[in-house]
Structure 1
């Protein structure tokens, strides 16, 4: 029977498998560490959106999670640390040194643990790259171990994932905003993106003709190049290289959690050993000697392939729908999803600024500002690089400034600040009251723009900001 599956081994893609398995596992490490650092404060027993309350009303069938059995912050930390350790073992290549079932089991285990977290993560885990990581990890489970050649159908499923990710994002842009169609989107995007990085200001001040060229390049990379992932070599190599380079450009210009890095890793599913040898001559050109897949493993791979092909129907139809969904999951397992980003471009930047005071009279008070990690605050502070780490609270504050519903988590956030909740304060960059509770808190909205070169030289400011509105008038927990 083993001879029947000789065609299934994709000899010559062993280097790509190493990049895929170890790279995806590395992103899982980061994701689990994010959960360790942020989940208890955001979603824990005493968090902004307590997971136990959500679990009490969430249908088990719709939200698969081991936490339906029992939730506690300690159990959450056990799950997250266990996932991080197992994922790190994959980064080191330890499970891959054994038979194919070992990395299969380990990848499926960390996928199930992270799915358990995402399923109860509510709005704080409602990002497209959560589904992207889950889908990537599930497919990577079937790439095999070092003793066999990577299955060709799994490599093609990973290319299909990259296609949906890139082409879906391109179609969302074309359909969604005239700025993408008239090539002016990057006049604004580097300044108004959710979380700028240290180079975003320089990208924003590039000449406008170059911005227009960037948009043309984006359309080419997302609407045309993905089709060549399925072409014979060397066209698939070239397509993958273009995707890697364009994603690297995005890494340089902004903080998008692990979206860009993971996309670059997934593009390696189309890069052969021969192509890698042009850059790294030490990489072997041929297939591993024991390229034959065991019959049991081949059957498992083909069953998984068939299932994922069946699940592809709705995402495929969505790509060409006039009402295309962005970052949507069509099943509770977060497999074969729809992706996309920035279907509309914000022309002006607004930031939510939370301030507190010790003074008794808020009308005459000296207000001090809470600083959040990642999001702009102090106009003198240059944005930092955080990606591929994901600062969930900073992203939610960006959505709030755009007008997204936020009372369900933002009002509890203010309550936590008014009592100087220790876990919540750890999510912040700085607490102006050094761990003590303020008397009053208020929330203001400011307009922000990058300083010009002349303004930066004269004032040292990264940002120029102006008050725009009062979002929350002074509130207090103490009696007057």
Structure 2
């Protein structure tokens, strides 16, 4: 009998019988896998025991290939036997291809013979790639843990921002959310029927008529996150958490416009296809996560890590340099990152060769390990361990709120059940879920997950293509994206649920810091001390994991923006004028007009110019004001809140500031870590130099 041919047999069975070589270690690995998948649908017997169990079985060369006796009386050998076995288990495509295409059947039999003749080699390779067995990987434990930990991270995110919300977006905060909604409504009224307010601000706050809406959303979101943490109605809890978080993020720019906010929203959205759609997700009855939902989470982790590595080599600073590629980035990173920890100071003192080795390991983690996600079990486990260790090191040397913790939660989905400790396996149990999903719900989730997977992969390819281009201008021959692609990207940006990532595309090599001081009655200047961002040189950098101080972070971005303006005197002068007018007049977004920023000296200049030059001058001024409205409106409103001595804003500080000040002074300093000798001798963590080009006073009287 030739291998893989179908042959009728009088050997009739009620259950398909697969005969294999019981003395072959590689065959035993494969048989154990099939036995686990079969669950009684196919019986497996070593040919050494065949005569005892089935004396009527025909004589065949069982030592040369596996043999499958089907219930219809047909016999299959070699690759055909394997494919037919899997068809009995519900996987039809391979056997259909084997039956219909001769080239596929021939290739399959050649591969089978290659493996059969080199079973010892393939046994070793299998153990390298999979370990001691090739049983099907299950993810019941990691799926259950993922849901609970995601709920905990979401709970932390809500509570962290809630503690700052009054000072940031409350009625007396820096940027009251109601002012933003009122401004959007005026835009809608000026363009009736052309655009929806929901498309500009997708927030449930539209449904509330008073200022309690913000705290109501925080309360609902917190309760939903708590339900997800304890496993009650997990799918409903995810939907509610996502809706509340995006509702707050939509009106809290720029304070909730960070990559970890986008990552949380995307993780919540994709996890809807991973967690069970049941009343309660109990550890003893944890079901196997839906495979497409698991793959979406894996792809999200891949996208997050690989993009973060790719952009380091494709984006360049204005002078064309790239500290990532020349292995000098860590000479700056520890002290130029937004808010270092005190451990960062010690890492900064390490020799430069350690920095270079650390960078190489970083590239391995971001550009190499993500591909291990798609390889067999042992490589996936290595990816899990490596990425978690990488996140722990980032946590130790910086303060990124819940960002790294959320990334670790994504990594947990790489851990299969066999990898967990026996104690945890005992707690999870082996019983199947008692919660019954209707076939309609199951079909609905499959359809929605399929659509989500298509959109996710589509947007990911677009983002990766952009990252690959980096700082390079698009090729002249490149075509504009299609209407469908543009609509998909716009929807992804609106919902913030399919995002691009990549922190520190260009490493900052300086650390400008904004120092704000106030005084009244010509007394001494009283500096505002922030809770976390550097001000005093002797104050050690703090750890505040998993809290995310939004104001302190935004000050870091604003200082970098001011530093960019120093090389353009006109832009800097308009910026200072913008801040001065905004603070002294206490303007909000609905009151701002270009005339507010045209001073008497500008009018005198305009009188001397011709019509075209006047128009050019005004357009140039308008461009700069619009730029500062987009970039620095929050900072101007922050200074105005300091001038008003708003209690909710002062609660965001540590100490400092003057009640009802007459003047506010804004200065810029260049900060850096002290070296080891100076630090130990003086007790200072920081050293600084003033930036002479930027220091101005706002008179409030």
Q: TM-score, normalised by structure 2?
A: 0.62
Query: Which residue pairs with 2:683 in the alignment?
Result: 460
Q: Is the 8 A contact 1:418 1:476 kept in 2?
A: no
> 1: distance between equivalents of 2:382 and 2:261?
28
Q: How does 1:80-479 map to 2 (within 5 A)?
A: 80-93=218-231, 95=232, 102-142=233-273, 143-144=275-276, 145-146=281-282, 147=285, 148-177=287-316, 178-277=322-421, 281-284=423-426, 288-290=430-432, 294=437, 295-312=439-456, 313-321=458-466, 322-323=468-469, 330-360=492-522, 365-403=523-561, 405=628, 406-433=631-658, 436-469=659-692, 471=694, 473-478=696-701
Structure-2 separation of matches of 1:19 and 1:378: 42
Counterpart pick for 1:14 among 127, 134, 140: 140
1:5 and 1:298 in contact (8 A); partners too: no
What is the CA–CA distance in structure 2 between the aligned matches of 1:225 and 1:320, rounded to whole Å?
20
Distance in 1, matches of 2:513 and 2:490, equals: 27
CA deviation profile, 1:398-431 (whole Å, cap 9, x unmatched): 0011116543111221121122110000011113
In structure 2, the CA distance between the partners of 1:263 and 1:425, relative to structure 1 (3 Å rule), is: same
**C-alpha deviations, 1:209-254, integer Å up to 9, x for none?**
1100111111111111101112221211111111111011100100
Conserved in 2, the CA contact under 8 Å of 1:13 and 1:287? no
8 Å contact from structure 1 (residues 359, 366) kept in 2: no
Distance 1:222 1:196 in 2: 21
The alpha carbon displacement at 1:6 in A equals 9.0
Distance change >3 Å, CA 81–CA 244, structure 1 → 2: same
Post-superposition Cα deviations, 1:322-380, rounded to whole Å, max 9, x if no partner, equal: 4459x9983422222111100001111110000112333xxxx5212101122111100
- Note if contact 2:558-2:632 (Cα within 8 Å) is conserved in structure 1: no
Deviates more, 1:304-313 or 1:68-77: 68-77
Output aligned runs, 1:4-83, within 5 Å: 12-58=138-184, 59-70=197-208, 72-83=210-221
Shift in alpha-carbon separation, 1:269–1:91, aligned structure 2, 3 A: same
Is the Cα–Cα contact under 8 Å of residues 26 and 87 in structure 1 kept in the other structure?
yes
State the distance in 1 between where 2:260 and 2:366 align.
17
> Partners in 2 of 1:329 and 1:42 — Cα distance?
27
Taking structure 1 as the reference length, what is the TM-score of the superposition? 0.89
The number of residue pairs the alignment matches comes to: 458
Instruction: Give the deviation of 1:20 after TM superposition.
Output: 1.2
The residue that corresponds to 1:99 in the other structure is: none
Q: Is the 8 A contact 1:186 1:211 kept in 2?
A: yes
Report deviation, 1:182. 1.2
* Aligned partner of residue 175 in structure 2, secondary structure: coil
Q: What is the DSSP-based 3-state SS (H/G/I as helix, E as strand, rest coil) of the residue aligned with 2:535?
A: coil
Most deviating of 72-81 and 390-399 = 72-81
Unaligned runs of 5+ in 1: 96-101
Looking at structure 1, the residues matched to 312 and 227 of structure 2 have their Cα atoms a distance apart, in angstroms, of 38
Tell me which residue corresponds to 1:98. Answer: none
Q: Is the 8 A contact 1:163 1:226 kept in 2?
A: yes
Tell me how far apart the structure 1 counterparts of residues 391 and 138 of structure 2 sit (CA, whole Å). 25
Are the structure 2 counterparts of residues 469 and 68 from structure 1 closer, same or farther at C-alpha, using a change threshold of 3 Å? farther
Shift of 1:11: 6.8
**8 Å contact kept, 1:11–1:149:** no
Partners of 1:392 and 1:60 in 2: CA distance: 25
Contact preservation (8 Å) 2:392, 2:404: yes
Which one is further off, 126-135 or 146-155?
146-155
Check whether the contact 1:444–1:470 (CA below 8 A) recurs between aligned residues: no
Q: Aligned-pair distance for 1:285?
A: 10
Note the residue ranges of structure 2 that are not aligned, 5 or more in a row.
1-40, 42-87, 92-135, 185-196, 317-321, 472-488, 563-627
What is the alpha-carbon distance in structure 2 between the residues aligned to residue 198 and residue 447 of structure 1?
Answer: 19
Deviations 1:369-393 (A, max 9, x none): 1011221111000011123211111
- Partner Cα separation in structure 1 for residue 183 and residue 311 of structure 2: 33
How far is the alpha carbon of 1:150 from its aligned partner? 1.5
Q: What is the RMSD computed on CA atoms of the aligned residues?
A: 2.6
Spell out, residue by residue over 1:256-288, the C-alpha distance to the aligned partner (whole angstroms, 9 max, x if none): 1211111011011111121222xx654349984
Call closer, same or farther: CA 1:181–1:307 in 2, change over 3 Å. Answer: same
**Structure 2 CA distance for partners of 1:344 and 1:191, relative to 1, 3 Å:** same
Are the aligned partners of 2:174 and 2:637 in contact in 1 as well (CA < 8 Å)?
Answer: yes
Which of the pair has more CA radius of gyration? 2
> Contact conserved, 1:188 with 1:347, CA < 8 A, in 2?
yes
Counterpart CA distance in 2 for 1:68 and 1:306 is 31
Whole-angstrom distance in 1 between the partners of 2:491 and 2:346: 36
Structure 1 residues 301 and 470: alpha-carbon distance in aligned structure 2, compared to 1, 3 A threshold? same
- Structure 1 position 172, deviation (Å): 0.9
Question: Could you tell which deviates more after superposition, 220-229 or 30-39?
Answer: 30-39
